[in-house]
């Protein structure tokens, strides 16, 4: 597949964004900030808003996903559509020879995630998942400390996600808050980012126990959830998540070991092993993630968050839902 050359002679990855919502705008901005990529098209199903979309993104708008995939000037697609559409769109893109960066969650079932991974492998294209928090320096610092043994043996992880979403947020898009297209509530839609951090930091989860409820919204899925996790390395963890905590608070990730711990609030370290405070870090995760994805395509390597890595967080989320539904412990698939 051909690509336009940049000023330094390196091939530019010509990218398209599928969708036109908030996530799509983040991806478009990240592509604009990546020296190795260029946005060449966007796809939106609502043809009546094509002109508006072209003006907003500054590139042609295709109103058919199939026509977007037929474009010879598209090397890769960023899929930013409702979660229930991710799997079919990613598989179609891979079969069309396009590299794929898909928003979280990568799919709503493990079978679909596996099909996406297989399609990318068979087509020889890269599949990445948008878990951009892995790129944030605070979490990279925490992971480095764990891997270097600076915290000793990890024993406890605590995740708190006290967000707020109004009823208007759910009413604004009919797919939000539904099992069929959202795949879940606060854990699948918002908390999966922090689930990904947990498996990235502490490794595989062996078993979960959970309770979930819908207490303050007119939606099918949960707006409050509490879970405990047992990690393969022996550590235990907790997740407490809600979209009912007005006016909304920063998420928090805490990891403690036999020699110390670290607390991260939002995207900044608030306390390290000595209890020192630190300033916050700007939220440029999507830009870093896209830059890594572009480099992965160019270098023929897996991206920072490959399809297999994206599947790990999905497996934990689905096990949490199974436990909440059955009232029994569950194991990630």
Q: Which run of H or of E encompasses 312?
A: helix 307-326
**3-state DSSP: the chain helix, strand, coil percent, rounded to 5?**
40, 25, 40
- The alpha helices in 58-153, defined as continuous H runs, are 65-69, 86-95, 110-123, 137-147
Which member of 104, 126, 165, 288 is catalytic? 104
Cα(226)–Cα(191) distance, integer angstroms = 11
* CB proximity list for 171: less than 8 A, separation 6 or greater: none
Query: In whole angstroms, what is the distance from residue 108 CA to residue 89 CA?
Result: 13
The DSSP code sequence of 14-39 is: EEEEE--SHHHHHHHHHHHH-TTEEE
Residue among 28, 14, 79 at smallest CA distance from 57:
28
The answer to whether residue 104 is catalytic is: yes
d(CA 154, CA 253): 14
Question: How would you classify the pairing of strands 268-271 and 260-265?
Answer: antiparallel
Cα first-last separation, the chain: 36
Enzyme catalytic residues: 104
């Amino acid at each position: 597949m051909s690509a336009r050359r940049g000023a330094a002679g390196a091939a530019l990855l010509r990218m398209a964004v599928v969708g036109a919502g908030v996530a799509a705008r983040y991806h478009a901005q990240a592509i604009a900030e990546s020296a190795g990529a260029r946005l060449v098209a966007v796809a939106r199903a609502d043809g009546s808003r094509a002109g508006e979309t072209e003006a907003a993104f500054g590139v042609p708008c295709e109103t058919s996903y199939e026509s977007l995939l037929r474009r010879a000037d598209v090397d890769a697609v960023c899929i930013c559509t409702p979660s229930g559409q991710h799997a079919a769109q990613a598989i179609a893109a891979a079969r069309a020879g396009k590299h794929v960066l898909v928003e979280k969650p990568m799919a709503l079932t493990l079978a679909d995630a596996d099909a996406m991974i297989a399609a990318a492998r068979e087509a020889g294209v890269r599949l990445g998942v948008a878990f951009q928090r892995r790129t944030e320096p605070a979490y990279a610092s925490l992971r480095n400390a764990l891997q270097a043994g600076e915290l000793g043996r990890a024993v406890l992880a605590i995740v708190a996600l006290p967000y707020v979403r109004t009823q208007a947020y759910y009413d604004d898009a009919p797919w939000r808050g539904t099992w069929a297209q959202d795949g879940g509530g606060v854990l699948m839609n918002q908390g999966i980012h922090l689930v990904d951090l947990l498996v990235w930091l502490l490794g595989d989860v062996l078993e979960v126990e959970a309770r979930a409820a819908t207490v303050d919204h007119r939606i099918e899925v949960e707006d409050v959830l509490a879970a405990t996790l047992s990690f393969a390395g022996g550590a235990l963890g907790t997740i407490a998540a809600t979209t009912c905590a007005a006016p909304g608070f920063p998420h928090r990730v805490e990891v403690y070991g036999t020699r110390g711990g670290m607390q991260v609030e939002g995207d900044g370290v608030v306390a390290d092993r000595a209890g020192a405070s630190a300033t916050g870090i700007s939220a440029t995760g999507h830009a870093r993630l896209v830059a890594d994805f572009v480099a992965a395509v160019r270098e023929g390597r897996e991206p920072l968050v490959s399809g297999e890595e994206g599947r790990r967080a999905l497996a934990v989320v689905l096990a949490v839902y199974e436990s909440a539904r059955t009232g029994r412990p569950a194991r990630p698939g």
